[in-house]
Amino acid sequence: SEGDGQNLVTEDVTVVEGDVATISCRVKNSDDSVIQLLNPNRQTIYFRDFRPLKDSRFQLVNFSNSELRVSLTNVSISDEGRYFCQLYTDPPQEIYTTITVLVPPRNLVIDIQKEIAIEGEEIELNCTAMASRPATTIRWFKGNKELTGKSEVEQWSDMYTVTSQLVLKVGREDDGVPVICLVDHPAVKDLQTQRYLEVMYKPQVRVSQNYPVQGLTREGEPLELTCAAIGKPQPTDMRWLRVDDEMPQHVVVSGSNLLISNLNKTDNGTYRCEASNAVGKSHADYMLFVY
């Protein structure tokens, strides 16, 4: 005698909420026995090609003496469970197929604890994937470098909400860089959201020698220096001073430029350009030796 369900074949079905699930009950060696399909409550959905169940979401796709194939449209979570294929032999045979319903995350949100950070600070970002099933895996990237967050899962009836926390120490090189929260989930492809970091940093100051372009600073010749400073916010306050000494009388300072039209030995020393913004103050030094 045949074993339990030995002559029947079916497959499990995984489907995204709202899509169509197709259930197939097949007979390997048909002897014209009746095939029927039952729902998880063991109500008959199809008996041969007849549907006793008053649910028009079930439709016949194929019916023969070797297969009963049925589609279920607009699948919802309540449709999950075991569906039974039965073959009316003597004794009857039965196997089951399981429908699993996936739900993509409802939405994905990044929340930054501080909209604007200062270099060297640690900031906290949270990414939340709402109401999915199964629970979502959240991955973090800063630019194209993957970072590691810490995830927490909350369960509401059949759904999972996942929040991942990322603690990030920011530097000036992070200003304008996107932080990306990306979802790994069987029901969606390429779901991600991003926020651009805004990082304030104190000025970076550089002094360059405009004249003489190359070569020595000689007595009697002119010297022109320029100070450049970049920062966020852009530095407003820039000043020249001479370290450990008074600025010589004949030095002309106009904005970021310092000009000595006629060098002499008394000008020797260190000239400093200082720049400041809301974050802090920085400087760069130029050491003058008159030949």
Tell me the CATH number at 21: 2.60.40.10
pLDDT digits (tens, 9 = 90+) for 121-157: 999 999 999 999 999 999 999 999 999 999 999 999 8
Number of domain units in the chain: 3
Q: How confident is the model at residue 69 (pLDDT cuts 50, 70, 90)?
A: very high
Which sign, positive or negative, has the C-alpha torsion 70, 75, 78, 81? positive
Q: Extract the tokens encoding 189.
A: 């492809």
Q: Is the pLDDT of residue 105 over 80?
A: yes
Taking Cα atoms as reference points, which of 78, 13, 83 lies closest to residue 42?
Answer: 83
Q: How confident is the model at residue 214 (pLDDT cuts 50, 70, 90)?
A: confident
**Residues 13, 97 within the same domain:** yes
**Residues 89, 130 within the same domain:** no
**Residues 164, 209 within the same domain:** no
Q: Which residues, listed in sequence order, are joined to residue 64 by a DSSP beta bridge?
A: none
Q: Is the pLDDT of residue 1 over 50?
A: no
The parent domain of residue 143 ranges over 106-190
Which runs of E-coded beta strand occur in 30-80?
A: 35-38, 44-47, 58-63, 67-72
Neighbours of 34 (CB within 10 A): 13
**Residues 39, 88 within the same domain:** yes
Greater pLDDT, 239 or 31? 239
pLDDT for 6: 81
Is 1 inside any structural domain?
A: no
Type of residue at 237 = D
Q: Extract the tokens encoding 276.
A: 């400041």
Is 195 inside any structural domain?
A: no
Picking from 190, 218, 244, the residue at the C-terminal end of a domain is: 190
Picking from 168, 190, 212, the residue at the C-terminal end of a domain is: 190
Is 260 inside any structural domain?
A: yes
pLDDT for 4: 62
**Residues 209, 284 within the same domain:** yes
Taking Cα atoms as reference points, which of 237, 233, 234, 217 lies closest to residue 225?
Answer: 217
Is 197 inside any structural domain?
A: no
pLDDT for 5: 64
**Whole-model pTM above 0.85?**
no
**Residues 12, 82 within the same domain:** yes
Picking from 164, 190, 216, the residue at the C-terminal end of a domain is: 190
Residue 224 exposure: Cα atoms within 13 Å on the Cβ side: 8
pLDDT digits (tens, 9 = 90+) for 170-199: 999 999 999 999 999 999 998 999 999 999
Type of residue at 281 = K
Residues 6+ apart with CB under 8 A from 170: 117, 119, 120, 121, 122, 123, 197, 199
Over its C-alpha atoms, the chain yields an Rg (Å, rounded) of 37
pLDDT digits (tens, 9 = 90+) for 243-258: 989 999 999 999 899 9
124 and 206 in contact (C-beta within 8 Å)?
A: no
